[in-house]
Every structure is written in C-alpha cells, then in structure tokens.
Structure 1
Amino acid sequence: MRVTLLALLCLAGSAVPAVAACRVATRAVEFGEVDLARDSHGTGRLTVTCDASTGFRVGIEGGDGSLFMDGPGQARLTYRLYSDPGHRVPFDEEGVAAATDGEQPAQVTVYGRVPRQSALPEGGYAGRLVVTLAF
C-alpha cells in the first residue's frame, strides 16, 4: 500500500531580545509516496534571514518524540524528525545551533523518517509543527 504525505513546518514564535530581526522561510518535509512495508525518508529546509550577524538555535516543538500526521478517516501516520542525514540525532525543541552574518541566510536541513507501519488507508496525510528561534 502506498500513502502520499507531507509534513509542514511553520514558524509560530521566537524568543528574540533586541539582537536582530529575523525571518524564517520553510520548505516542508516531503516524503512523497510512502510504501508502508519499508522505512521512507524525506527532507525539508528552514531558511533563517536576519538583519544583523547573530547566532541562535532552531528548534521544532515535539520533534524529539514520535509525531503524527492526520489522514483519511482519522488515520494517523507516525514519523520522526532528525537533524542529521543518518537519522541518529532527533530534531527536538532545543534544536540545532545556527548563525548568520546578516548578509547570507542560515540554511538548516530537517531530515524525516516514516518507519514501517501497519496498513493505513491510502490518501494524503499532513501535519503542522512549531519552529522556534532562541537567541
């Protein structure tokens, strides 16, 4: 069975002292068509642009545990997010360190994995996550 799904990343807030004004652009973690008989992988990207040189941490709320995407008929698909391509370091609320020089944006890749799961109905699955910048 194949399932098409997409995990969305959205910026909900940031803890910003008067260090820099920053914007976050997201590219969703896209898994495409998923074969539930095997692990599936996808990537997304967070692009942080600031008006001054600054360091920060990029976190994803709830990323350190199993996450769920909702689908047809109240079906829930489990997935996880990681900060490394080997899927060893979960992408959690503390996040990863990043920095920008105020000229070039910081690029942070988010790696996703959908583990093998029991049969789920075919269709689109989606979810939302909270992305936070901490200075």
Structure 2
Amino acid sequence: MILRAVLAALLAFGALVPCAAWAQAFSCQADTTPALDFGRPGANPTATVDTAATPTLRVTCTGWYNATIKVCVGINAGSVDGALAPRRLGNGGARLSYQIYGDAARTQVVGPMAGSGSAGPLEASVTLNQNPLLVFGSGTVEIPLYGRVFPDQSGLAAGTYQSNLTVQVDSVAGNGTCRGTHNPEDTLTMNARAVLPGSCSIVADDLNFGTRASLASAVDASTTLTVTCTSGTAYAVRLDGGRAGNIAARRMYLNGSGPQAIAYDLYTHAARTQPWGDGSVGAVVEGVGAGTGLGTPQVLTVYGRVPAQATPVSGTYRDVVTATVEY
C-alpha cells in the first residue's frame, strides 16, 4: 500500500504540469548594451561606411531544461526624426543617414517589434542546457548588429552625430514567430554615433603681371584662391615666401632660377597695405565654410604688386608660392 501511494503521488505531479504551463516557464535578459559606433567616416561621406566593429547583443534565457526559446529583438527608429527608412543621426539641425541590419550583407533591416514588411524584429533560437542539480537550465545567444552610413551625403557640418535607440527583447516558445504574439522580456538603450571631421580644399590661379618694357613705375595685378570647407569649419589661408624663402622680400627669378630677379609682394586687400604671409610675417586670411554641397566655394582675391625698381635683363621671371589652408 505504501508503494502504491508513492506511485500515485508521482503520477499526480506529472499531471500538474500541462504543456502550456511548461512552455511559459522561462525568462530572458540582455547581458550587454551594444553601441553602434561608425568612428570618423570622413567629412561629407562620398562612399559607404560600415561599422568597423560588429556590436553584439548578448541575451541569456533560463527555464525548463531542453526547452527551445526564440529570442526576438526589435529596434525602434531612434531619437532623431522618428525615421526608419533611413534612420538618421543628428548634430543640431544636420542629419546623417544610416541603417541597422541583422546580416553581414546588410540586406535585412532591423525594425521595431511591431515592424512590417522587410523591417521587422530579429529572431534567434536558444536551447536551455540542463543544470545537473535542478530541473531548470539556461542558454545564451549572441546577436550581431551591422551598421552602414550611406554614401553621397554632402553639406554636413563637422561634429558628432548621434541617436539613441530603444532595443526591445521579447521571447516566444517553441516554433512561435517574432511576428506574432510574444512575451516582453527586457528593454535597453543603444547609442549610435559618428564623428565628421572638418575638411577643406584650396585651388590657386596663377598671378600674371603681364609683359612690361620698364619697371620704372609699379605694376599691379590680382588673382584668386578658391577655398571650399565643410560647412561651419573655420579656416586660415597662409602664403609662404616663395623661392626666396622670405615673405618680406619675395622675388621672381629669371626663368625661375635667376640669379636675376624682380622684387614683388602679395597683399590681402586692394589698398596693398597688408602683406599676405603665414602669420609669423604678414597676415593670414581667415574664414568659415558655409552653405550646401561641400560648403560654398569661397573666392579670395590675392593682390600683387611689383614696386618701381631698376629694369632687369629681358626674359620671363617666375616664382612659386605655396598657399596652405589650415582648419
């Protein structure tokens, strides 16, 4: 009789655990908070920039041993504009377009848990391993995320672009789907960011004083430098001393090498009172990039003067001055 009573109790215990209750006896939690860092893609990205490192969301689930659980990961549009296609990083009013994918080929857009179409939650399965001392088990799954900044984005101010995204972790038992009904498990915040440095380019036109029979009187001429900088980037343009290596005593040499030479100078204004130099000698010209595109090209005029002097032997006199834009 005692033996039969024990058997009956064991059978009754088994009857108390129906399949539905067994299926829901688990929980999941994110162990890591990933960050999507694009580093420094370069100013006004013209080419695709992918995340250098692959951030990974690590989720651990516990429950009845040998159970298979499907982990669902949804990511919202982020804190900038609420846009999903594409997502955006913000720097003040400037926007940098990017996207988050669930595959290395970057074809599967990760959307919110209630997403539809091609942008929906990620799915990953985990089987709970048995703890030898308990009827419960645990399992961990690592879910990689892949980011991409899109090409041909111009007119962007230098600075840090970022967005905070809400990552939702849900679960569903067995053969369920993340597109259906699932159990809320965990919520965390993920930061996405990129730093765009300032950049500038400079193009110089030649300065031609023309043909002169005499240098008994001063000869004036002008030319231009075109500076293009990232919007909002401060810059300074410096001119060196040319082949003479002396800003205070520039020289054009016969056939570019001399020894015969013609003295001349370069100025920042039409009045030709302020020599244009490198800052240690003479002034520099400063400005700030602005506008759209790669920043509005800004044309700076260089004013040249050959002062009255003795007329040297006839020929072509040249100098090479290096214009440098610092930013």
TM range (shorter): 0.7 to 0.9
Give the superposition deviation at 1:69: 0.7
Counting helix residues as a fraction of each chain, which structure ranks higher?
A: 2
Q: Is residue 223–residue 302 contact of structure 2 (8 Å, CA) maintained in 1?
A: yes
2:220 maps to: 41
Give the superposition deviation at 1:64: 3.9
2:206 maps to: 28
Secondary structure, aligned partner of 2:209: strand
Counting strand residues as a fraction of each chain, which structure ranks higher?
A: 1
Please give the TM-score of this superposition, normalised by the length of structure 1: 0.78
Does 2:254 match 1:71?
A: yes
Does 2:309 match 1:117?
A: yes
Give the superposition deviation at 1:21: 2.4
Does 2:277 match 1:92?
A: yes
Per chain length, whose mean CA-contact separation is higher, i.e. which structure has more relative contact order (CA < 8 Å, sep 6+)? 1
Give the superposition deviation at 1:82: 0.4
Secondary structure, aligned partner of 1:65: helix
Specify every segment of 5 or more residues in structure 1 that has no aligned partner in the other structure, as ranges. Answer: 1-17
Give the superposition deviation at 1:51: 3.7
Distance 1:99 1:113 in 2: 27
Secondary structure, aligned partner of 2:207: strand
Corresponding letter in the other structure for 1:58: V
Give the superposition deviation at 1:53: 2.8
1:3 maps to: none
Secondary structure, aligned partner of 2:300: strand
Distance 1:77 1:123 in 2: 11
Which of 267, 280, 285 is the equivalent residue of 1:82? 267
Does 2:323 match 1:131?
A: yes
Please identify the structure whose Cα radius of gyration is greater: 2
Q: Is residue 83–residue 110 contact of structure 1 (8 Å, CA) maintained in 2?
A: yes
Name whichever of 49-58 and 118-127 sits farther off: 49-58
Tell me the matched-pair count: 118
Name whichever of 28-37 and 78-87 sits farther off: 28-37
2:136 maps to: none
2:173 maps to: none
Name whichever of 47-56 and 124-133 sits farther off: 47-56
Distance 1:74 1:92 in 2: 24
Name whichever of 47-56 and 125-134 sits farther off: 47-56
Distance 1:91 1:40 in 2: 17
Secondary structure, aligned partner of 2:308: coil
Q: Is residue 41–residue 112 contact of structure 1 (8 Å, CA) maintained in 2?
A: yes
Give the superposition deviation at 1:127: 0.5
Q: Is residue 99–residue 106 contact of structure 1 (8 Å, CA) maintained in 2?
A: no
Distance 2:316 2:217 in 1: 18
Distance 1:61 1:77 in 2: 17
Report the RMSD for the aligned CA atoms in angstroms: 1.8
Corresponding letter in the other structure for 1:96: V
Name whichever of 70-79 and 31-40 sits farther off: 70-79
Q: Share of identical aligned residues, percent?
A: 27
Q: Is residue 231–residue 288 contact of structure 2 (8 Å, CA) maintained in 1?
A: no
Give the superposition deviation at 1:109: 0.7
Please give the TM-score of this superposition, normalised by the length of structure 2: 0.34
- Runs of 4+ aligned residues of structure 1 deviating over 3 Å after TM superposition are none
2:298 maps to: 106
